[in-house]
Structure 1
Amino acid sequence: MRQLSALDAQFLNFETDTNVANVAGLSILEGEISRDELVSLVRQRSAMVAPLRQRMLPVPFGLDHPYWVQDEAFDLDYHVRELALPAPGSDRQLAAQVARLHARRLDRRHPLWEMYLIHGLAGDRTALYTKLHHAAIDGLGGADVLAAFMDLEPNPKPQAREPDVEPDFAPETAEMLVRTAARLAANPAHLVRFLAAAVPYLDQIPFVSGLPGAGTVSRAARGLVRRLGLGDGQEVPGLPKLAAPRTPFNGPVSAHRRFAFVELPLDEVKQVKNAFGVTVNDVVMTLGASAVRRWLIDHDALPEEPLVAGVPFSLRGVDDTEHGNQVTLMITSLDTQIPGPRERLWAVHEAMQRIKDRFNLAPARWLRHLSEGMPAALTGLADRAAFGLVAQTAPPINLLISNIPGPQIPLYVCGRRLLAQYPVSVITDASGGLNITAFSYNGQISVGIVACRTMVPDVWNLAGYLQDALEELKSLI
């Protein structure tokens, strides 16, 4: 019986009709797949992925975080769905359909996932859109879930039967309340541990660093730690004052989404990386900065200051198979104000190096530890209040942008080759109405762009600008 962590629960708490916490993947497959084939595959493989067969069980009166329990009425007919585009369906028609599906909240009475088999796509292709709730899985874990349905060859050998796993049935109410009491008793200890580890770094923690007095308190705490001879003596790189300027994609998001996708050749990105001595991630971040800069110029809305981007960092170890969220958010400047592509790349490289150094030294699990130190009932109220406040005031960041490395070998689903795998991520009032997420697969970088429909109606322009930005950097080699 697994309980949602405090961080998992936050993705439930902030969700509204407009702030929807779905993470998803859009798989483009070669050839046609029947629903019967897909259902057979999912029935076989879903037993190996616990979140796919578990629903949420709330604790009475919301006194604690919910539990994941076995869904005794698990029904694949509900979760695996089928639809068709008017043939021959274009990529833009597919993206519009995905945007509609992605904006819909998942029903919390069922396991928090849905899979859509989409026919009618031009070029003898089939699409598979799979979405999960962020409370059940983070981005990297979601990729692992999708991988459970993929094979390394078109006709793999039948898998050995998995050993039976004892199902997690719903606990009795009395048991949940006893656990809640124990958790409440432990909250102060969690909070004390967080404060002892994090107070010296308050001015280095995203969002917290902007609070009045954070710098004074953290500098005093670091001085005390040094005088007492505690800590490792390493100084965390300073975080420049980052104030997110106003842009057209900041403010309360609507209930509607736009989605666009594009592929970039990985070998061309590596050419740029090698020529300038930077990383693939630096190049991807620069492409995002360049595309957003051009879009802002189109709309006569380019700020003189750099944008502030949220960059998710995974906390998962190589052998970590735990479900739920193990992610932290770092913030960095995104130098859209720099006109020269070469100078923009170097500025992004320096900014990314700075947050990597901070990630290695500062308490990366600060958000999870702080959340665990708060009573669940108060956390829910605080999450909703914070999102409401952010929606009406200055945003902490302008957008989310990330790059996830993936397998560089061909994969197969139901014997059909996976041609591309596009991420479909989250936008919120707090993070901005634009999310650019890249995922590398088999020699290509597949970029998924999610936006609020009213803020960024011309999202396909951004997809084209990413391609133009890569050509611009290649021309400098």
Structure 2
Amino acid sequence: MSQLTSQLSSVDTVFLNAETGTTQAHIAGLAVIDPAACPGGRLTPEAAADLIATRAHLAPRPLRRRLARVPLGLDRPYWEDDPDFDPARHITEITLPAPGDDDQLARAVARLHERPLDRSRPLWEMVIVQGLAAGRAAVYVKVHHAAIDGVMAAETLAALLDLAPEPRAVPAVADAAPQRAPRRRAMVGSGLARIAAHPVASAAAVARSVPRLDDVPGVGALPGVARVARLARGALALGTGFGTGSGAGAPEAEPATAPPTPFNRPIGPSRAVAFGELPLDEVKRVGRALGGSVNDVVMALCAAALRTWLDKRGELPDEPLVAGVPISLRLTDRAGDGTDSGNQVSILSTPLATHVADPAERFAAVRADLDRMKGRFAVAGNWVRDVAGLVPAPFARSATRLALRAAPLTGLRPLNLIVSNVPGPQFPLYLCGARVLAYYPVSVVTDVSGGLNITVFSYDGTIDVGIVSCRDLVPDPSELVDHLHDALNELKDLARD
């Protein structure tokens, strides 16, 4: 068995280590479905379990994999097949009381999203929600971020969903010997060898990281860091360097400092969830009229909605917010080894022009900031992997949790929030014969990234918006959905002028 494909990467392990009593590191999706075409007009846990049993092998990281820990935490965990894997053990069903409206669904999803996954089993679960109004149902699926990134999540959805109500035939797979993690003695030996080699690997990671320190959210704004990074990039340009691909040639950008907001305080364990839709054709029309992309419009809508929300509370900062935008390294072909080595994701940190009152000027500022930061990311975007590997495995858990606890206590705010725009298919999909009417992402909040996360997913002509927050800090994120609609109307008026 290849260690490369079975062991968690350093980035995967960060997501495991980040979990605390207030932080859960799973990502989820909420599919609202029309189950009319299902047998009996109802999607059942049994039907879902049968589907997963026949298609689990199609997922990019098989849904039957569980964690295998290395003794004494000497190394990163491994993935292995669960010998007792049964999809039915991961699927439950709840029924909303009448009237089964969207507010009830949002509250139910928030409670589900607060619960940690069982690490003794494969790290996913599905909840079928019955009793929605108008004969609808919903399917909430969460997967630990250690097991999957955004691209892998999309590929998993493609494996489970169909293009027509009639499920496609999937060829049976011959039974194979379960893939097992190395024996404990081999794990310990490999872990000790990695610890012995870590100073060399860490030195190389430091060398690659120094020229990009000002790209690390929060770190780049610390006194002297930007100057050190610029000097390192200058050394690279002179050929005296720190290795290749370390940020030489990246356009210079002044590191942004995230201002204080009501959602940048220590988070609690409770979550609030809201969801809504924006018409994709109108967003595209606005983008064409104003000379921007769909992503530019989405970011400008978020800036306007956040500005309104903060201003109503007398909490609007004089400077822009700082948003973290997840970027897949798979799509930029910088995964390193070209193989499926787990999470291949980084964060683009960009100003979000909430301080600009005029809608036209705000849109122009958002677009310009995104273009400038994407220019830097194109050269220096893979810092996450290097930073994640700086600490040896035996100390990584403590270091990650210390960083999470220290951020709110020290006042260090790397980001104000996460904003993510995920393109999806523009045609209807089906689950066990049920048409998927909408698909709302539900992501992660942390003390470091902020107690608010806005993720959008374009699907079948709409932009489906999923917002999750710390309930103590943003108790009703549905207000932000309303502000997004107001912001789109504002830009539509601007586009007509």
Q: How far apart, in 2, do the equivalents of 1:105 and 1:425 lie?
A: 13
How far 1:177 sits from its partner (Å)? 0.8
How far has the Cα of 1:161 moved from its partner? 1.7
Which residue of 374, 395, 414 maps to 1:356? Answer: 374
What residue is the counterpart of 1:20 in the other structure? 24
Cα offset, 1:107, TM superposition: 1.1
Quote the residue 2:33 is aligned against. 29
Aligned 8 A contact 1:261 1:449 in 2: yes
**Counterpart of 1:472?**
490
Q: Distance in 2 between matches of 1:154 and 1:329?
A: 37
The residue that corresponds to 2:187 in the other structure is 176
Residues 51 and 136 of structure 1 are in contact (CA less than 8 Å); yes or no, is this contact kept in structure 2? no
Stretch deviating more after TM superposition (50-59 or 305-314): 50-59
Structure 1 residue 45 corresponds to structure 2 residue 52: no
Aligned to 1:368: 385
Pick aligned residue for 2:454 from 422, 436, 454: 436
Percentage identity across paired residues of the two chains: 49
Q: Distance in 1 between matches of 2:399 and 2:190?
A: 22
The reply to whether residue 119 of structure 1 matches residue 130 of structure 2 is yes
Structure 2 equivalent of residue 195 of structure 1? 206
* Residue 280 of structure 1: aligned partner: 294
Instruction: Report if the CA contact (8 A) 1:421-1:439 is conserved.
Output: yes
Secondary structure (helix, strand or coil) at the match of 1:52 reads coil
SS state at 2:357 partner: coil
1:218 CA drift (Å): 2.2
1:369-384 to 2 correspondence within 5 Å? 369-384=386-401
Hey, what's the Cα distance between the residues in 2 that align with 1:5 and 1:30? Answer: 39
Match of 1:9 in 2: 13
Q: How does 1:262-277 map to 2 (within 5 A)?
A: 262-277=276-291
Alignment of 1:160-239 (within 5 A): 160-228=171-239, 235-239=249-253
Contact 1:17–1:105, Cα closer than 8 Å, also in 2: no
2:147 equivalent among 136, 139, 146: 136
Partner residue in 2 for 1:90 = 101
Aligned residues of 1:136 and 1:323 also touching (Cα < 8 A): no
- 1:236 counterpart letter in structure 2: A
Amino acid aligned to 2:362: R
Aligned to 2:434: 416
1:242 alignment counterpart:
256
> Which residue of structure 2 lines up, in the alignment, with residue 387 of structure 1?
404
Match of 2:299, as an amino acid? M
Measured after TM superposition, the shift of residue 72 of structure 1 is 1.2
Please give the alpha-carbon distance, in whole angstroms, between the structure 2 residues aligned to 1:186 and 1:297.
52
Contact 2:65 2:81 in 1 (8 A): yes
Q: Counterpart of 2:217 in 1: which secondary structure? A: coil
The separation in 2 between residues aligned to 1:150 and 1:332, in whole angstroms, is 34
> How far 1:220 sits from its partner (Å)?
2.4
1:59 aligns with 2:76: no
CA distance in 1, matches of 2:176, 2:291: 49
Indicate how the Cα distance of structure 1 residues 428 and 229 shifts in structure 2: closer, same or farther if over 3 A, else same: closer
- Residue in structure 2 matching 1:456, options 474, 477, 480: 474
Which residue number corresponds to residue 333 of structure 1? 351
1:316 to 310, 313, 330: 330
| Distance in 2 (alpha carbons) for counterparts of 1:216 and 1:299 | 37
Could you report, residue by residue, the CA deviation over 1:78-99 in whole angstroms, capped at 9, with x for unpaired residues? 2011111013300110010000
Aligned residue type for 2:406: L
Assess if the C-alpha contact under 8 Å between 2:234 and 2:248 holds in 1: no
- Alpha-carbon distance in 1 for matches of 2:229, 2:310: 36
Extract unaligned runs of 5+ from structure 2.
36-41
**1:323 deviation in Å?**
6.1
Q: Deviations 1:214-242 (Å, cap 9, x if unpaired)? A: 22322322332333377699621122231
CA deviation after TM superposition for structure 1 residue 67, in Å: 0.9
Structure 2 contact 206–390 (Cα < 8 Å) conserved? no
Matched position secondary structure for 1:275: helix
Q: Secondary structure at the match of 1:148?
A: helix
TM-score, normalising length: structure 1: 0.95
Kindly state the Cα deviation for residue 47 of structure 1 after the two structures are TM-superposed: 3.0
Amino acid at match of 1:45: R
Per-residue deviation, 1:369 = 2.1
Matched AA of 2:32: I
Alignment RMSD (CA, Å): 1.9
**How many Å apart are 1:186 and its aligned residue?**
3.1
Task: Note the C-alpha offset of 1:43.
Answer: 1.4
Find the aligned partners of 1:86 and 1:403 in 2 and give their Cα distance. 33
1:137 Cα deviation after fit: 0.9
Counterparts in 2 of 1:229 and 1:18: CA distance versus 1, 3 Å: closer
Tell me the CA shift for residue 5 of structure 1: 0.8
Distance 1:323 1:192, change over 3 A: closer
Contact residue 209 and residue 386 of structure 2 kept, 8 A: no
Name 2:308's counterpart in structure 1: 294
CA contact (8 A) 1:262 1:447 kept: yes
Distance 1:129 1:225 in 2: 48
